[in-house]
Amino acid sequence: MIPADWTPHRRDDRELLGWIRPEGDDWLAVDVLGRELTGPIDWLDAEAALEEHGIGWLADPWILEGEGDPLRVRIVEVVPEGDGRITVKVDDFGDMQRPPAQRHDLTWPLPARLRPLAPGDPDGRTITR
């Protein structure tokens, strides 16, 4: 659930970039996954941080842990409203011939078991024994 004192910040096309929330006499920028992007700063700097961060990174591969071996996944949907959820699917690399990829519904804000892809993570294309 989004706290009432968080103010949504949107791009010119109305796409949500995140929120600006109070922190003492200052403000913090929070992205659409609920992660704090900045420490306490002024309002205009919080807006600039959200604009610079954007949302393009949502299309990047992520790693989901806690399902046996780490899974390479893609974010399908982010719904911060209500109980909140983040839906991911096993990365199918855009292959339209494959059966639908397995999906996982996670809690919002971002749970620790979902993280950006890091060096050394499985790439999903390499077969090892």
Euclidean distance between CA atoms 109 and 116, whole angstroms: 15
Please identify which residue in the block is written with the tokens 């610079």.
52
Over residues 23-30, the mean pLDDT reads 98
Indicate the DSSP class of residue 112: T
For the record, the structure tokens of 31 come out as 């992205």
Q: State whether residue 89 is helix, strand or coil.
A: strand
pLDDT surpassing 50 at residue 129: no
Domain boundaries along the sequence of the chain: 7-57, 60-116
- Mean per-residue pLDDT for 81-91? 93
Tell me how far the alpha carbon of residue 41 is from its chain's centroid: 22
CB 63 within 8 A of CB 70: yes
Q: Cβ atoms within 10 A of the Cβ of 117, count?
A: 17
Q: Is the pLDDT of residue 127 over 60?
A: no
Q: What are phi and psi of 49, to 5 degrees?
A: -65, -40
pLDDT tens track for 45-65: 999 999 999 999 999 999 999
Give the integer Cα–Cα distance in Å for 109 and 111.
6
The C-alpha atoms of residue 44 and residue 92 are separated, in whole angstroms, by: 40
- Mean pLDDT, the chain, integer: 91
pLDDT, tens digit (0-9, with 9 covering 90-100), for 90-111: 988 777 777 777 899 999 999 9
